[in-house]
Structure 1
């Protein structure tokens, strides 16, 4: 039996959090997956949590890509995908040589750095050239394997090229889809046993799909400023817990 499911309260709480974080991702374009991983790491070893998180997030990404399929920006997606597999290979190599405590610390530090970076005031947007997305895809591949939560950084970058919220949410969804798909293949390649955790994954998947749908419905009905303050506070506290 899956050891994670021995504690039913933890399992139920993870399923509930997966619903709300999928909803958050549909509302904000990114970040819900970061909260989900940070929460899972309070109870699960990162060597297990990151592959499970990637599998569940893949479902959420597929749901978002389908819901926002009309708004996908292919001129950014195609260059992003080109070198991503090479980044995954490098990240996987590094991942195998890190112990779980170092990975948890790395994730916590990365999340806090992201929050700080997001809140730095900028005078104007800097339009990023399309060719930069080749490099971004490679970087995403590396960091996806090590910290599993690169979407908030991608959201900051992509907002310099896109203005419509639907385009941002949909395109980020595709970035997550391809990133998590290749991540899962990478973990399968090094022998991670997804079947051992299948029950938890199957319980979380419907929750993320439903959360994505609810988030789409609420997209234009929430105050962004209030949402961002609450979101950053939750994320910061969870990340702090990973550091200490």
Structure 2
């Protein structure tokens, strides 16, 4: 299962970005760049990124070609085929930022998703993130093993948990640290009902997102494995002794006679 593009966040503050064009589209991109703290220059400026917001097709293609010839990565507004990168719809709960992209296929869909998420995410989410950052040393001391730490945080962040991301106030971090218990090392089993990852239960999806290691045969669909952490270790057999953190074993249902 491949990604249509690689999502990244660029630290634009103090960085030079080329903006070419005028009109409403260019003005909107300039506001976004100003908000991100970028230095905006014209086509002749030295930069690694450029945004081209030109209505005329021939002129836009010529500018894009000149910039790409210089090795500049280009976003061409309303021309996804010419884009090296796209600019997503943004939900800002700084320092938490959610980016919704469609690869330029439908800006309207990305905007609609942004509006839904704006209503869903509390304004205190950014302050919760800052409280977690401030408590980072204490969290590491409390849960020295990375696997145990991920399990503890995963349980706390879940719906109804001590740090429920859709409702916990910043002061909940300290309360959770004072009351958090140990997380046992565990092996859990997921018996797939289908090849569709949407058929995973919420608990199973959470296990995959938290697992330190994954045991899965060649018959497990890539779409299922894509739900696991990218850095989770893939193991060839289940360990005889308990390992730190969470191990997830995935199996397909047995084939019934006659199928």
How would you bin the TM-score normalised by the shorter chain?
under 0.3
User: Normalising to structure 2: TM-score of the pair?
Assistant: 0.23
User: Normalising to structure 1: TM-score of the pair?
Assistant: 0.24
Higher helix share: 1
> RCO higher in 1 or 2 (8 Å CA, sep ≥ 6)?
1
